[in-house]
Structure 1
Amino acid sequence: MTREKILITGASSGLGEGMARQFAARGRSLALAARRLDRLETLAGELSGQAKQVAVASLDVTDTEAVPVVFDSLAGELGGLDRVIVNAGLGKGAKIGTGKAHANIETVQTNLIGALAQAEAALKIFREQNHGHLVLISSMSAVRGLPKAQCAYSASKAGVSALGQGLQAEFAGSPITISVILPGYIETDINRGVKTSMMSDTDSGVRAMVAAIEAEKRRAAVPAWPWAPLSVALKLLPDAISAKLV
């Protein structure tokens, strides 16, 4: 099945913007949401010659009451939604107990509570129309609890993965499918400053994500090399080693 009408959150930059560009190049209709409406409007102008239709809306996913309102509005503009990509995320963080709780709490509120609010809104639409593809963008950081400044981020993304697994069990065999995508290091603002030989350039990383999404894989570590084997290794390696890999 070709998913023609796609909603992407966190679409004003990074992986969200990259996915929007690639789906536009495939001639899909797009609903783009993010906090920075000006950037969305600029992006929509750039994509208008490729995408069948582009609708945009300002959305802060931590405003859980606004999420279903915005999703319903965008679905109305596109005449329904075939796929929702829950991508909006935050990479703030600090060592827990060092007086910067606000950064960790904001990360969990955005990445996990925000993802849950988006899943609620998307699945309400999908249940009513009896079809749809929900894509949860998790992270390789979800595979193994990570220390220091990444601890809260890792926990938030583990929650996203668990949410996806539970929904996959619930909707097994139905016209509603659930995918959990776990990107490794892909060059975006959120990874700026990370020094690692395993960093993928943005285009390659986004292409791998889009390919996994189009295949509607239940779970995909992307890019497959080196992250597919590492997703297995991370569960087994000692803490001292695993903490250095992600």
Structure 2
Amino acid sequence: MPNSSPIADKADRRPVIVITGASSGLGAGMAVRFAKKGYDLALCARRIEKLEELKFEILSAAPLARVELAPLDVNDHDAVFTVFEDFKTRFGKIDRIIINAGIGSGAPIGKGGFQKNKAVLETNLIAALAQSEASMQIFREQGEGHLVIISSMSAMRGLRSSIACYSTSKAAVAHLAECMRADMLRKPKITVSTIFPGYIESEMTAQAPKDKTPYIVSNDKGCDLLVKAIEAKKEKACVPAWPWAPMGFLMRNLPLSWVMKLI
């Protein structure tokens, strides 16, 4: 059985990662891979039963890992602070926090979908702010840590139809990450990374028609590349780098009508 008591021996301490929205998709895939790489995990999501299933999968693949769980709706902002602080208490220290929780189902602006669009912005932006505040409070107290914001390639440009507010929210959290990097310029032990995933198979992309998700990669490959990018601790990374790094340049600089044809 993995140890579930606070770790006393710092020399033997395994690095600890918090992942929000970890019950499925990219969050779950990253959790399994980090455990295999020698990390301990603090996982949270709304669906605690899914987290329990994931914990069993993780311990089957990485029996030495310590896995702690907590139910969390990131839109309950007080709970975000409580859960993050509780994870810190349980482990003694948190090395990395991955802000991954998010939703993607919006509506075209002006077609009666205000409530859907409001939910996207509340979950992907306001809740991400709450998670960032809770994370940076912990890292400032510790004097070190790595915050990872999962944005999206859709952040590169304002997009149309049902992903208008999704692209808005992902651009906003990328900007928020840069603001925090600016704050930490004189504190090199606290790093902030922004990850821009392209199309990776997940619950979110499964809702979209295949012709709306070009260059899509499997969940396995996508999660492998996400973990690699996160461990590199770069300020920004497009995942997969090909074709999304050059695609990002084109998205930012081509006329909007051309961008709509690319994606």
Judge same fold: TM > 0.5, yes or no.
yes
Aligned residues of 1:86 and 1:136 also touching (Cα < 8 A)? yes
Contact 2:108–2:162 (CA under 8 A) maintained in structure 1: yes
The answer for the alignment partner of 1:15 in structure 2 is 26
Structure 2 gap segments, 5+ residues each = 1-12
Per-residue deviation at 1:171?
0.4
Between the aligned partners of 1:157 and 1:3, the Cα distance in structure 2 is 31
CA distance in 1, matches of 2:242, 2:251: 14
2:38 pairs with one of 7, 27, 31: 27
Q: What does the per-residue CA deviation read over 1:91-147, in whole Å, with 9 as the maximum and x for residues that have no partner?
A: 011011111111110001000001100000011110111000000000000010101
Deviation of the 1:27 alpha carbon = 1.9
1:150 pairs, out of 155, 163, 168, with: 163
- Secondary structure at the residue paired with 2:168? helix
Structure of higher CA gyration radius: 2
Corresponding residue number in structure 1 for 2:93:
80
Percent identity for Structure 1 against Structure 2: 49
Q: How far did 1:200 drift?
A: 0.8
1:194 is matched by which residue type in structure 2? P
Check the 8 A contact 1:139/1:181 in 2, yes or no.
yes
Q: 1:65-110: per-residue Cα shift (whole Å, max 9, x none)?
A: 1100000111212221000000001001101111111111000100
Q: Is the 8 A contact 1:135 1:181 kept in 2?
A: yes
CA distance in 1 between partners of 2:197 and 2:176 (Å)? 17
Q: Give the secondary-structure state (helix, strand or coil) at the position aligned to 1:159.
A: helix
Give the counterpart letter for 1:188 in structure 2.
Answer: S
CA contact (8 A) 2:14 2:40 kept: no
> SS in structure 1 opposite 2:196?
strand
The amino acid of 1:19's aligned partner reads M
RMSD, matched Cα: 1.3
Match of 2:199 in 1: 185
Residue 220 of structure 1 aligns with which residue?
A: 237
Name the residue aligned to 1:237. Answer: 254
- 2:135 pairs with 1:122: yes
Please give the per-residue CA displacement for 1:49-69, whole angstroms capped at 9, x wherever unaligned: 415200000001111111000
Q: SS in structure 2 opposite 1:21?
A: helix
Q: Could you say which residue in structure 1 is the equivalent of 2:6?
A: none
Following superposition, which runs of at least 4 residues in structure 1 exceed 3 angstroms of deviation? Answer: none
The residue type equivalent to 1:137 in the other structure is I
Instruction: Specify the code of the residue in structure 2 equivalent to 1:213.
Output: I
CA contact (8 A) 1:85 1:134 kept: yes
Q: Which runs of 5+ in 1 are unaligned?
A: none
Which residue is equivalent to 2:57? 46
Name which of 190, 193, 202 aligns with 1:176.
190
Q: CA deviation at 1:231?
A: 0.7
For residues 86 and 142 of structure 1, the distance between their equivalents in structure 2, rounded to whole angstroms, comes to: 16
Aligned length: 245
Residue identity matched to 1:244: K
CA distance in 2, matches of 1:33, 1:108: 20
TM-score, normalised on structure 1? 0.96
TM-aligned CA deviation for residue 3 of structure 1:
7.6
1:140 to 144, 153, 175: 153
Normalising by structure 2, what TM-score?
Answer: 0.90
